[in-house]
Amino acid sequence: MNMSDAELRQVLQTVLAGVSTRCDFVHGEALRPSGNTCLVQSGASYCATAGASDFHRASLNFYFPPNVSLAGRVWKSGCVEWHDDVSCLPSTIFLRAELAQQTDLKAALAIPLVRDSRVMAVCIFYKKNAQSPSPQLEQTTLSIANELWASCARTPMGSDMRFVMGDPKDVEQPLGKASVSKAWQRCQQSLDIEPEDRSEEELEKIIQYSKGVQFFKYITNNQRYDLCKSMTYTTLTRNQLVMQGNEGGVDNDEHCSSWHVVVSGRVDMCVRTSPEGRTYRMCSFKEGDTFASSYMKMFSTHAQISTHIEATTDAVCIVVHIPDEYRAEFRTCTRPLWYEELAQYFHMSIIQAAEALGMCMSAIKKICRRHGISRWPHRKLASVNKTISMLQSKISTAADDSSRGALMSEAVNVLTMKLRLTINPAYLVRDEAILQPAEAPAPGMSAPQSAPPAQSGGGGGPGAG
């Protein structure tokens, strides 16, 4: 007998309320998969403060694809994740960081509900204060959650589900032996020869292989020739370190002139958000994907965050060395920018952003269309930021708690509008009416979030896919 959506929501509601009250969490939310595309709000939630209610209402604006934000990563990994203070994290790690800051939510613990190795829901609990990882609290939370689940789940399917800690070392492995194309075999033999010793015939084999690689799709024949001439490859073993990022977002040029293209296997970008915290996998690179040190800079925004890239399985990567004369053109020709890379320039005018990126206006507009950006958001963003500053000033001088609460709810609405301008459209619910408070169908519960429509464009980003 299957568990209905209403039954699942009711049991999750009991778990969220029971764990939160017994473990001193002020907010709990439960998200469920909508097919294989993303997580959506299940309709179950627990809010002990007005700020938590505002946070949950604003959260109805977002979907979480696999590996995107805290919820998407736990869905994909099946492992518990804890962060000291999500309000201080970049949006590439925690999508709703600014909302958490506005609503006084700090430490966060996410736990997966699993059946037959498949994650059926992700529950996230928030504290009002920052707190370092606590293995004891994690175990207590899991024990209480499983105790409450067992007492409420009445169907055989429900009895097969349980909350688990998960094993971060247990990663998805390729099925069977990876097939090796004859084109790659010929290319590999040529790459085994030192670049200065390669004949034109050997170089042609490398060029022919590159024509089937997305990374080289938009470059000229002269650029292709020069890049293939200096190209090398590397064989990686499982858990081997590929790149180490500098802490605090400080530039590191060691790998800036080199890009890796995955030929086989899997390579992951990993982040540790505090010195005492665990290392979490942010996104994966598989066959045909590219990566470089510039990607790590989007995650390492302050001194406590450290990043690195490592081989999760045995892997083979092409290493493309970019000559100085091609670096500016390379940024626009050989790969699409991640949405999150582009978003770093939304505070500028489109002309200033184009100059900073080394692009012409037509190139940056083309990238915007690819990501579903119909209008450059600089002006709207400036207006919204001005409104937020005005509201913050009013909040600090509010005469009473009632006035302060109303202003804070309004600030959350405006901040949500800001996030809708800056966050990847592929992660957004289309209906902006949910910005307005809605009547809950039952105490402590909200209507379940609808499944997202099919997305077009949107294009890549940390954890996309």
- The answer to whether the beta carbons of residues 198 and 230 sit under 8 Å apart is no
In the predicted model, what is the mean pLDDT of the chain? 84
Positive or negative, the CA dihedral 189, 190, 196, 201 is positive
User: For the chain, which residues make up each domain, given as ranges?
Assistant: 5-163, 182-325, 336-426
Mean pLDDT for the stretch of residues 294-311? 84
Write out pLDDT tens, residues 42-75: 999 999 999 999 999 999 999 999 989 999 999 9
pLDDT (tens digit per residue) in 185-235: 999 999 999 999 999 999 999 999 999 988 887 778 888 899 999 999 999
pLDDT at 370 exceeding the cut of 90: no
Task: Supply the pLDDT for residue 433.
Answer: 44
What is the chain's length?
465
Largest CA distance in the chain: 80
Predicted TM-score (pTM) above 0.75: yes
Q: Which residue has the tokens 């696999």?
A: 66
CATH code 1.10.275.10 for 182-325:
no
> Stretch 114-133: mean pLDDT, rounded?
94
Residue 457: what pLDDT?
A: 40
Give residue 170's pLDDT band: very low, low, confident or very high (50, 70, 90).
low
Residue 436 has pLDDT above 90, yes or no: no
- Topology given in CATH for the domain delimited by 5-163: Beta-Lactamase (3.30.450)
Between 404 and 176, residue with greater pLDDT: 404
Residue 455 pLDDT > 70:
no
> How far apart are alpha carbons 33 and 72 in whole angstroms?
10
Q: What percent of the chain has pLDDT over 70?
A: 83
Cα distance between residue 368 and residue 363, in whole Å: 9
By mean pLDDT, which of 66-75, 146-155, 260-269, 449-458 is the weakest?
449-458
